[in-house]
Amino acid sequence: MSNASDSRDPSSLRSARWFRPDDLRSFGHRSRLKGMGFDDADFRDRPIIALLNTWSDLNTCHSHFRERTLEIKRGVLQAGGFPVEIPVLSLSEMLMKPTTMLYRNLLAMETEEVLRAHPVDACVLMGGCDKTVPAMLMGAISADIPSIFFPAGPMLNARWRNTTLGSGTDAWKYWNERCAGNLCDGDWQEIENCIARSAGTCMTMGTASTMACIAESLGFTLPRASSIPAVVAEHSRLAVSTGRTAVELAWNQRKPSRFLRENSFRNAMTVQLAIGGSTNAMVHMIAMSRRAGFPLTLRDYDQLSRQIPVIANIRPSGKYLMEDFHRAGGLPGLIRQLGELFDLNSERVDGTRFIDDIPHAMILDDDVLRAMTDPVYPNGGTCVLYGNLAPEGCVIKSSAASKELLKHRGQAVVFRGYADLKARIHSEDLQVAPESILVLQDAGPIGAPGMPEWGMLPIPNKLLRRGVRDMVRISDARMSGTSYGTCILHVSPESRAGGPLGLVQDGDWIELDVESRRIDWLVSPETVQQREANRTCDTSGPGRGYTHLFTRHVTQAHQGCDFDFLEGRDPGREPDIF
Ligand code: FES
């Protein structure tokens, strides 16, 4: 760690404002800590390190965080800090409805305010399950208080009989087989019993693994942190060293603004494309970059996507799982394969530069971490499309889609919201053919609300039985990073915000041409005008509470779905002390 500004002067610590003055308020702060059983040796003149913990009994991916908390605290104590644990909103992807995305900004806001309001010199952000990662990073960037991210780590590979199972990806696959009548109840039960083998996040390259890789690429973690499986000893050692590092961050004032640069975000975007990462990460990256003052756009993604092939052979784009990714060399190995496309002069939170270690990174399996000359998928693994159906853009993960559908013309079968989809999709009366295009409206940030992962619309059972396994699907929703198929997502502006998607009707022709980055709705301008004049759009929204706040202030997908009043940073704003 660089120690150019390491003063080790306790009066320079942020927490000194709380504990050093000889006044009545500081007396109160100290005496109440003493009432908890601490004495001066515990907290006086030591950096206070907050562990922001997203543990909950209902967050299946963070069930090991109680032990990791003890290990991080051990590291903090070893380095002379005072560790304090602060529980924050957990955002359990598997158990929260309608979607954790509805609450990402709430956790971001909580992270920022919790850090600002307390005597915190540095913090460890303990997250992992999908939205916890961007939420905590967004909050830390805005608060601009030294922060290091500790990823929950992926689950161990799962096995069913002699088959490897990956979270999400294989659940969708076998569910389709069950719906097609190819899998009996007993088999399905066995899969349920073994697809989640341990604590940890989804072990495919879903949103959690993608966001962990992004956190590491931005420099927010210790090297190789993003892929260490959740339940191995190496993960415990990562916890201890993360705790130790947090103390150094406090003394050295390594705030996010000290190491995050425009190129940090370009690096992270490059990595996201090279790992065949979740499309959700595009929304999160745009939000984080706008907080940091280096705003990314969908056009930046499109430009970079034309140069970056997918080289991580991980499901859903490839074959392996995160445990294999780690064994093969993890993110340092992947970055090494990227060569000059990754700026190695970028700094990490601890003051090291990628160039210090990436040139020596090991690549132990080049079928998992492919060379640039032998990619899993050529450039354009994730594409941004524009056209009269998506004036502000939409995205498709081409690397996880059917090649033959990437250029397609079909007639729309429209569902007006998720309830309509659920009620009719498997109806034997549904007028649908394999070449139809399934359209889901009203599933965007405001419409749903929260832009749930409904974008991988189910294939109608009657087509599944005929052997159809993929169709073109279009929505203003997101899809799980573990999903696959020819799904056009994040259509912006969304239906509820007056986007053209809301005007599409059954039978309209739509043309998709991924190579030309086009999505065209083949109706006349007069028809559009006429439908616009008759559009009825419910803009009333929920009447109270957090959802009321959300629907009035969330931005569109191409802008990152942050709250309009939370964008940017608020560096140096300290609470008044009375
Ligand atoms: Fe938590 Fe997938 S459900 S990471």
Considering the domain architecture, whether residues 167 and 122 belong to the same structural domain is answered as no
CATH of the domain at 415: 3.50.30.80
Measure 327 CA to ligand 1 centroid, in angstroms: 21
Phi, psi of 377, deg, nearest 5: -150, 135
Ligand 1 atom at minimal distance to the Cα of residue 94? 3
Measure 66 CA to ligand 1 centroid, in angstroms: 18
Kindly state the DSSP code that residue 228 receives in the 8-state scheme: S
Considering the domain architecture, whether residues 186 and 130 belong to the same structural domain is answered as no
Please indicate, yes or no, if residue 150 is contained in any of the structural domains.
yes
Please indicate, yes or no, if residue 476 is contained in any of the structural domains.
yes
413 close to 436: Cβ distance less than 8 angstroms: yes
Measure 226 CA to ligand 1 centroid, in angstroms: 14
456 close to 522: Cβ distance less than 8 angstroms: no
Please indicate, yes or no, if residue 546 is contained in any of the structural domains.
no
DSSP of 414-467: EESSHHHHHHHTT-TT----TT-EEEE-S-STTTTTS--S--SPPPPHHHHTTT
105-123 burial: b if 16+ Cβ within 10 Å, else e: bbbbbbbbebbbebbbbbb
Please indicate, yes or no, if residue 369 is contained in any of the structural domains.
no
299 close to 261: Cβ distance less than 8 angstroms: no
User: How many CB atoms lie under 10 A from the CB of residue 358?
Assistant: 18
Q: What's the whole-model pTM score?
A: 0.96
C-alpha pair distances (Å), 496 with each of 209, 210, 410, 499, 508: 31, 29, 24, 7, 19
Considering the domain architecture, whether residues 105 and 168 belong to the same structural domain is answered as no
Measure 431 CA to ligand 1 centroid, in angstroms: 35
Phi, psi of 31, deg, nearest 5: -65, -35
Cα torsion through 501, 504, 506, 508, rounded to 10: -110
Considering the domain architecture, whether residues 257 and 387 belong to the same structural domain is answered as no
Final residue before a domain boundary, out of 360, 392, 417:
360
What's the number of domains the chain is made of? 3
Ligand 1 atom at minimal distance to the Cα of residue 61? 1
Measure 133 CA to ligand 1 centroid, in angstroms: 11
Measure 568 CA to ligand 1 centroid, in angstroms: 28
Measure 79 CA to ligand 1 centroid, in angstroms: 32
| Substitution site in 64, 100, 130, 156 for ligand 1 pocket (most atoms within 8 Å of beta carbon) | 130
Considering the domain architecture, whether residues 244 and 215 belong to the same structural domain is answered as yes
Hey, which bits of 45-190 come out as E strands?
A: 48-53, 82-87, 122-127, 147-151, 158-160, 163-165
C-alpha pair distances (Å), 412 with each of 155, 342, 469: 39, 41, 18
Atom 1, ligand 1: which residue's CA is nearest? 129
Considering the domain architecture, whether residues 182 and 152 belong to the same structural domain is answered as no
User: Distance between CA atoms of 553 and 106, rounded to whole angstroms?
Assistant: 12
Please indicate, yes or no, if residue 472 is contained in any of the structural domains.
yes
Ligand 1 atom at minimal distance to the Cα of residue 167? 2
Measure 212 CA to ligand 1 centroid, in angstroms: 12
Measure 560 CA to ligand 1 centroid, in angstroms: 21
Considering the domain architecture, whether residues 305 and 435 belong to the same structural domain is answered as no
Ligand 1 atom at minimal distance to the Cα of residue 60? 1
Final residue before a domain boundary, out of 194, 215, 239:
194
Considering the domain architecture, whether residues 43 and 181 belong to the same structural domain is answered as no
C-alpha pair distances (Å), 462 with each of 27, 179, 180, 327, 475: 72, 9, 8, 42, 22
* Residue 573: burial class (beta carbons within 10 Å; 0-12, 13-18, 19+): exposed
Please indicate, yes or no, if residue 481 is contained in any of the structural domains.
yes
Q: What is the pLDDT along the chain (578 residues), one digit of tens a residue?
A: 544 455 689 999 999 999 999 999 999 999 999 999 999 999 999 999 999 999 999 999 999 999 999 999 999 999 999 999 999 999 999 999 999 999 999 999 999 999 999 999 999 999 999 999 999 999 999 999 999 999 999 999 999 999 999 999 899 899 989 988 999 999 999 999 999 999 999 999 999 999 999 999 999 999 999 999 999 999 999 999 999 999 999 999 999 999 999 999 999 999 999 999 999 999 999 999 999 999 999 999 999 999 999 999 999 989 999 999 999 999 999 999 999 999 999 999 999 999 999 999 999 999 999 999 999 999 888 999 999 999 999 999 998 899 999 999 999 999 999 999 999 999 999 999 999 999 999 999 999 999 999 999 999 999 999 999 999 999 999 998 888 899 999 999 999 999 999 999 999 999 999 999 999 999 999 999 999 999 987 767 777 899 999 999 999 999 999 999 998 777 667 777 65
3-state secondary structure 26-57: HHHHHHHHHHCCCCHHHHCCCCEEEEEECCCC
Measure 61 CA to ligand 1 centroid, in angstroms: 6
| Substitution site in 54, 59, 93 for ligand 1 pocket (most atoms within 8 Å of beta carbon) | 93
Considering the domain architecture, whether residues 179 and 84 belong to the same structural domain is answered as no
C-alpha pair distances (Å), 114 with each of 50, 268, 371: 10, 27, 43
Which candidate, 319, 200, 230, 221, places its Cα nearest to that of 271?
221
Amino acid type, 215: A
Ligand 1 atom at minimal distance to the Cα of residue 480? 2
Considering the domain architecture, whether residues 44 and 63 belong to the same structural domain is answered as yes
Please indicate, yes or no, if residue 480 is contained in any of the structural domains.
yes
* Residue 44: burial class (beta carbons within 10 Å; 0-12, 13-18, 19+): middle
Final residue before a domain boundary, out of 194, 211, 242:
194
The region, left, alpha or beta by phi > 0 then psi within -120 to 50, assigned to residue 123 is beta
Considering the domain architecture, whether residues 142 and 291 belong to the same structural domain is answered as yes
Measure 356 CA to ligand 1 centroid, in angstroms: 32
| Substitution site in 54, 58, 61 for ligand 1 pocket (most atoms within 8 Å of beta carbon) | 61
Ligand 1, pocket residues at CB < 6 Å: 61, 93-94, 129-130, 167, 201-202, 206, 208
Residues paired with residue 85 on neighbouring β-strands, in sequence order: 51
Domain coverage including residue 476: 383-533
Measure 446 CA to ligand 1 centroid, in angstroms: 23
176-208 burial: b if 16+ Cβ within 10 Å, else e: bebbbeebeeeeeeebeeebbbbbbbbbbbbbb
* Residue 296: burial class (beta carbons within 10 Å; 0-12, 13-18, 19+): buried
Ligand 1 atom at minimal distance to the Cα of residue 152? 4
Ligand 1 atom at minimal distance to the Cα of residue 59? 1
Considering the domain architecture, whether residues 222 and 162 belong to the same structural domain is answered as no
| Substitution site in 56, 58, 94, 482 for ligand 1 pocket (most atoms within 8 Å of beta carbon) | 94
Please indicate, yes or no, if residue 107 is contained in any of the structural domains.
yes
Atom 2, ligand 1: which residue's CA is nearest? 202
